[in-house]
Structure 1
């Protein structure tokens, strides 16, 4: 059965983007351990992310690698027909994160569902839908920006599964205690 995983790169002060939503700063540190990323991506069966007027598709943003062809579920406030691009199906789900998780889990089969974005991560945590959190922590402080967990408004207990440290990045993996 598919696990639902929050997957994000953050700064030490917990930001996943700067105040303008840019993530360009994260590329200053080089890649995380390729084995960690390869192990994670080979187990992805579906992705859930946010849709900003289909920006993900129209502006060429693709979750993970173009070579991975898992389905992508995009949360939106307006109905939109599915879009197929480069062998990937983008399905739009209107205002129902649980429906998106259920559909993504069904599509993923025995693989994982990766949650991308703070709003989606927090919604799924509040509903008890998250099984694990995997973070790549960069050694920098942005000082301000878009936080992955700010606004969660409730306690969530975690159990550390793994911690891998390289020169530039610390990879952390936690199980959500339910």
Structure 2
């Protein structure tokens, strides 16, 4: 059965995007990463938030612009949204979390469903369906932007370390 993985790059101070969803901060840090290179073939589907799907791209201006992992991955994508966009090949718009998770897991087979977007990851955590987290810290401080996890008023989520920067979500 597929597992839901929230794998993301973040600044050392915990931001996955700058103010307004700006991803340009990440562009200078893109490049070969043995952990990412090993993970990509293990991803069977993407579960993507609407803002992430329509948002900024750190690969802007390259041939990988608009493609998952800068063009390093191809496969089914499931976008969680109440506002579907025009049809896109390989992309399915789903208006509820349970339906999106079920469809992405079915499409992924025994591989990972990689979650893209902080709000979708938060919803998956709250619903108890997120299995693992992989944090890829980047040596920069942003000071503001979209946090990798944000829960107003706070919330503790227990994690078990599986390997460096990789955690299993405790339920």
Ranges in structure 2 where 5+ consecutive residues have no aligned partner: none
Judge conservation of contact 2:10–2:137 (CA < 8 Å) in 1: yes
Tell me how far apart the structure 1 counterparts of residues 110 and 45 of structure 2 sit (CA, whole Å): 11
SS of the residue corresponding to residue 175 of structure 1 reads strand
Give the structure with the larger helix fraction. Answer: 2
Ranges in structure 1 where 5+ consecutive residues have no aligned partner: 164-171
**Alignment-derived partner of residue 143 in structure 2:** 143
Give the structure with the larger strand fraction. Answer: 1
**Alignment-derived partner of residue 4 in structure 2:** 4
1:32 CA drift (Å): 5.4
1:82 CA drift (Å): 4.7
Q: Is 1:157 the equivalent of 2:158?
A: yes
1:27 CA drift (Å): 2.3
**Alignment-derived partner of residue 175 in structure 1:** 168
1:106–1:30 CA distance, 2 compared to 1 (3 A) = closer
Matches within 5 A, 1:19-58: 19-31=19-31, 33=33, 35-52=34-51, 55=54
Tell me how far apart the structure 2 counterparts of residues 137 and 44 of structure 1 sit (CA, whole Å): 20
- Relative to the length of structure 1, the TM-score reads 0.82
Judge conservation of contact 1:2–1:105 (CA < 8 Å) in 2: yes
SS of the residue corresponding to residue 35 of structure 2 reads helix
Deviating 4+ runs (over 2 angstroms): 27-33, 65-69, 78-83
Judge conservation of contact 2:47–2:79 (CA < 8 Å) in 1: yes
- Relative to the length of structure 2, the TM-score reads 0.85
The count of corresponding residues between Structure 1 and Structure 2 is 162
**Alignment-derived partner of residue 113 in structure 2:** 113
1:17 CA drift (Å): 0.7
Judge conservation of contact 1:161–1:173 (CA < 8 Å) in 2: yes
SS of the residue corresponding to residue 83 of structure 1 reads coil
**Alignment-derived partner of residue 134 in structure 2:** 134
CA RMSD of aligned residues (A): 2.2
